[in-house]
Amino acid sequence: MKALILQAQSGCPTARQELAARLSARLDSMARYYARCCGEDQDDLLGEAWVAVFEAVEVTNIEIGQPDQYLLACARWRILDYCKWCRRRRHAGPEEAEDLVERGDMPRETLDEVRVEQLVSDLSETQQAVTGGLMEGLTWREVARRMGCSSANIAYHVGRIRERLADQVEMTMEATAG
């Protein structure tokens, strides 16, 4: 394995392919395990693992320990960092999410999703049900039928939801201005 890593470090494509073939089963297993544990997409985790392996090949010192174990450890660290990043992104509040967007760690669309999730979590159960139906693409009448009320009730709740949204926007603007 040490000779193979040396050849891969020198840029030999055949050595890189052989190294990939030898590590493939272990990385697949690792990605599958962590996908079950943290709920992330297995293919995303596997991609992160391969990036880590091929970055680590360049700096691996074959004279210390078992270099293949070092490569696998680098892959594991990268997967865990990716899982932590995804969890932080999912659970970030609007202020933290704004910082992540500014650093380039989160797309603007995700920030909007965080804000919508926060708004929806602040609503009553009825308002959440109305919002959920509307976000599914249902009309006011269809939402009313689903909830067993009139479309006038839905209109009332939509009005309250809009007021909440306006208050939220106003608070956000005050916070960014101050």
For residue range 44-74, list pLDDT tens digits in order. 899 999 899 888 888 888 888 888 889 999 9
Q: Where in the chain is the domain with CATH 1.10.10.10?
A: 97-177
CATH of segment(s) 2-91 = 1.10.1740
97-177 in CATH: which number? 1.10.10.10
Kindly report, as residue ranges, where domains of CATH 1.10.1740 are found in the chain: 2-91
C-alpha to C-alpha distances, 11 to 17, 21, 97, 138, nearest whole angstrom: 11, 16, 40, 57
Residue 160: how many other CB atoms lie within 10 Å: 14
Residue 44 exposed, middle or buried by CB count within 10 Å (0-12, 13-18, 19+): middle
Rounded CA gap, 121 and 128, in Å? 8
pLDDT score for 156 = 93
Asked if the model's pLDDT at residue 29 lies above 70, the reply is: yes
* HSE of 159, CA atoms in CB hemisphere, 13 A: 6
pLDDT at 25: 93
The contacts of residue 60 (CB under 8 Å, 6+ apart) are 5, 9, 67, 70, 71
Least confident among 47-56, 89-98, 136-145: 89-98
At what angle are helices 67-91 and 13-38 packed, to 10 degrees? 40
What is the rounded radius of gyration, in angstroms, for the C-alpha atoms of the chain? 25
User: Model-level pTM?
Assistant: 0.52
